[in-house]
Structure 1
Amino acid sequence: MGLMNIGRGEGSEIIQLFGRGVRLKGYNFSLKRSREINTIKPPKYIETVETLNIFGIRADYMQQFQEYLEAEGLPTNESRIEIILPVIKNLGTQNLKIMKPKAGIDFKTQAPKPVLGLPNKYLQRNKIILNWYPKIQASQSDGISNNFDAITKNETHFNTQHIGFLNVDEIFLEIQRFKDERGWYNLNIPYANIAKILNDTSWYSLQIPPQALEFTSFAQVNQWQEIAIALLKKYCDRLYKSSQSAWESQYLELQTLTENDPNFFEDYKILIDKSQQEIINTLNQISDEINNKILQNIEFHNFKVINFSQHLYQPLIYLNSDYIDITPVPLNEGERDFVIDLQHFYNVRKDFFKNKELYLLRNQSRGKGVGFFEAGNFYPDFILWILLGEHQYINFVDPKGLRNVEGINDRKIQFYQTVKEINFNDENVTLNSFVVSPTKFATISWWGKNKEELENCHLLFQEDKDYIENLLNKAIL
């Protein structure tokens, strides 16, 4: 793309330009880049073809944008390099079972067409939160003051007066375009439902300064229009995916886990600032060791490489750094601690595993991993297999903080019961679900349950030294 005389003056449009890219048809019109498609091996160098390059003549925006990043202490693309960490797969000696939709099942062609209508209970429980503060901070619109406290965000909704000013025709056409871009040709969007959904405030929360919703000028309406479109796109996305999960859950079956499963990938891609030479040298050394099958735990600069022999690929990576970006998403602290604790137990308690085999796999998020509509589109962080003779105990484990959980009736916690309702008519398979929490028990004493009662609901606390053994014993009951 070539641009001339662009960005010679001030304005937020220059920053916004960098959030735009080239729309791709993608493989089989999937509208995805090749790295997001797991069913085929993409051609070599396809990422280069799918990369947008922008060249400017008398265009000052590149330098302005780079100076802005440097002033904020953020690395620029030109100052970053990519390092590849290979992944070693190890599926073990057993044919591990995993839940997948039956072959030939196609939501788009076989399921009843989802309709964009008023929110159901799932959409009301799982509200969409739209934070408009960053958008206003980046804008230079007249009449909107940026002197507000963004720490305590104002949460509100549109009222009927706001909606009365909106151009519903324009919103409808934009949502139709969004639907087409996603390839959701089976989604029905009735025109009459647009205003009805916006008038229903039960499914969203809008974080925005109060003055941005005041009736001060008609210039405000353009912003309200943009907000309404953003909200409806999120609503549309969540409704469609929840409808798909609900329908596909009827056709789940046990299949043998293979290396083609979307939970596996070929390598980690790491972007790091060139100035971090010590970290770069260490990462290159780790890459060489993995290629040479030298697998060990390594920790440096809030970056931890975990090589657990019973995880179905190595390594797992934990990261807490502003200097490094990594894909796929690294472990968080709770996930890291769970893997390390399980690795330690496995290494020191060989007696426990004399007649058992243990395997672990990190479960990817929506669209790739195993999810459960019954628990509010719950995607547990890990799948843990315990093999005892011919029997496979398949355990879904989710390290989860509890500070924002309203109590023991949370659907992810209660999934320990719901999962038992899933029946594959296979007497050699048992399903379990566990929540392990870094939150201290004392923090949730207001729930009115003692620790034994919570443990009987498969809620365990990482502060307890025996929580791993407790989990494994409960898993094979």
Structure 2
Amino acid sequence: MRELFQFDCAALDFGIYRIMNYKRDAIEQFITTDLPKAIAGELEQGALAEQAQAAQALESTQVGLHTAEVRSAQSPRPIPPESLVWVDWQQAYLNMLAYKERKGLKNLVILPEAPRQIVEQVPCTVVAEESVLRPQSFADRARLQEAVTHLLCRYVDKFHQTRREQWDEQTMVYRPLDKDDSNLGFRPQGVCEAKAGYVVRVPRSEQQLVEAIQRLLQEQQRLYEQENVSLPRIYFDRHLYQPLLVEMPEIAQIVPPGLRPSEAQFLRDLRDYWNVEKDKSLIGKEVFLLRNLSRGYGIGFFEERGFYPDFILWVVDQSRQRIVFLEPHGMLHAKAYIHDEKARLHERLSALAAEIGKRSGRYDASLDAFIISATPYDELYQRYDDGTWGRTKFAQKHILFPERGQAYDYIQILLGS
């Protein structure tokens, strides 16, 4: 700063320099005392606070800097209400109409006031820099407009999909399951096979796995009816197709996805129980299982959002059949039961079964649902609801734990045998 004012140049004794030399003491005090205080105050409380925090993170540790970057660049945030005045809502409306036309959503009506109502009233967040959310220039405003357009287009997709799926649920009927059902006739995109099948993508470096798969394809009986570790899979003759591949996240990508550990455990437990009890407690009954694929293929239930249970189980007893939707998954982050839409699905299936039966002219089927918690009971019970539930109460609410013993066998409870 002293170099800027050039106090040390005695030859500069004219014009503005003469005035600065005359005020030298006042300027010295400003440079050495007043200016540092002002900067410190701004760094602590004012407009430079964010830069100061970033500098502090930079000076502390590399981890601190990384954390600061993640929070500022990756955290979804709502668009501040005061920034919405910079949005051209007419242009946003025209962009929504254009997107609707491109997607072919002929049965969707968008009103001119809809874009602003969506952003203001629906909980929406975006991942964007501060300059986008609080524009300070015309360039920032253009980026905000782009962010709003992107958000609205995503909302159109979600809204239309959810409403379509809700309508599907309201028009469900019973019909015989055949080979053309989407849960049986799945064909991954980009595959030109005439029949359904998996796609297993394996890195070239996994040469042993590639060779093992090629050998299995040449010996299809062994592929369908045997299990080994080279291509992890489960054989259960009550499942409606074979084989059932187990996920290999470290070395291969499987489409449709392979069985997760909780799903594989359930399948093995059900198979073991069936093999032991089919001529005892299950005599006279038939059991069938089908993996329920996700959105676009499987059967879903929709109130607030889509839920596709992992399996569909049929228990056929003479002229009646019980259809059970099963979802093995972890529950560490589950809500209280009253707010747990997945866990409470079973409560509304009785009424839904009656509606479907009336539409279909069939009254020989019932619907049920269970959650199979991959989170052990000892870890879950203190976290869930009021923290007092025993295994019996969980079972009454159709939440089971994958435990098999004399006093508690979740497969026995599930099958009602």
2:372 is aligned to: 436
Identical-pair percentage? 27
Supply the distance in 1 between the matched residues of 2:342 and 2:211 (Cα, whole angstroms): 41
Aligned match of 1:346 in 259, 274, 278?
A: 274
2:412 is aligned to: 469
Supply the distance in 2 between the matched residues of 1:253 and 1:334 (Cα, whole angstroms): 30
2:227 pairs with 1:306: no
**Aligned AA (1:277):** Q
1:297 is aligned to: 227
**Aligned AA (1:229):** T
2:152 is aligned to: 232
- Structure 2, unaligned stretches of length 5 or more? 1-64, 187-195
Q: Deviations over 1:380-427 (max 9, x none)?
A: 111100111111111011112212221112111111110011111534
Supply the distance in 2 between the matched residues of 1:336 and 1:170 (Cα, whole angstroms): 51
Deviates more, 1:320-329 or 1:205-214: 205-214
Supply the distance in 1 between the matched residues of 2:390 and 2:137 (Cα, whole angstroms): 56
Task: Identify, as 1 or 2, the structure richer in helix.
Answer: 2
Supply the distance in 2 between the matched residues of 1:236 and 1:398 (Cα, whole angstroms): 29
2:114 pairs with 1:193: yes
Deviates more, 1:258-267 or 1:280-289: 280-289
2:299 pairs with 1:370: yes
2:390 pairs with 1:450: yes
Secondary structure of 2:108 counterpart: coil
Matches within 5 A, 1:10-89: none
Q: Deviations over 1:447-476 (max 9, x none)?
A: 222221111011101245521122111xx7
Supply the distance in 2 between the matched residues of 1:434 and 1:220 (Cα, whole angstroms): 50
1:324 is aligned to: 252
Change (3 A) 1:175 1:304: farther
Cα contact 2:284–2:317 (8 A) shared by 1: yes
1:139 is aligned to: none
Cα contact 2:95–2:149 (8 A) shared by 1: yes
Change (3 A) 1:464 1:375: farther
Cα contact 1:402–1:439 (8 A) shared by 2: yes
Residue 310 of structure 1: how far off its partner (Å): 0.8
Q: Deviations over 1:292-339 (max 9, x none)?
A: 665112224xx6212211110111122132442221222222222221
Supply the distance in 2 between the matched residues of 1:352 and 1:457 (Cα, whole angstroms): 24
Matches within 5 A, 1:202-221: 202-208=122-128, 210=130, 213-221=133-141
Cα contact 2:86–2:141 (8 A) shared by 1: yes
- Structure 1, unaligned stretches of length 5 or more? 1-144
Change (3 A) 1:147 1:435: closer
**Aligned AA (2:177):** L
**Aligned AA (2:375):** T
Change (3 A) 1:354 1:337: same
Cα contact 1:167–1:225 (8 A) shared by 2: yes
Cα contact 2:131–2:140 (8 A) shared by 1: no
Supply the distance in 2 between the matched residues of 1:415 and 1:244 (Cα, whole angstroms): 19
Secondary structure of 1:267 counterpart: coil
Secondary structure of 1:329 counterpart: coil
Supply the distance in 1 between the matched residues of 2:281 and 2:211 (Cα, whole angstroms): 40
2:4 is aligned to: none
2:84 pairs with 1:163: yes
Supply the distance in 1 between the matched residues of 2:140 and 2:216 (Cα, whole angstroms): 53
Q: Deviations over 1:323-377 (max 9, x none)?
A: 4222122222222222122122223333233221110001122222112224743
Secondary structure of 1:412 counterpart: coil
1:272 is aligned to: 202
Supply the distance in 2 between the matched residues of 1:212 and 1:441 (Cα, whole angstroms): 46
Structure 1 or 2, whichever has the larger Rg, is: 2
Structure number with greater CO (CA < 8 Å, separation at least 6) is 1
Change (3 A) 1:279 1:461: same
Matches within 5 A, 1:254-265: 254-264=174-184, 265=186
Change (3 A) 1:213 1:456: same
* Residue correspondences, number: 327
1:360 is aligned to: 289
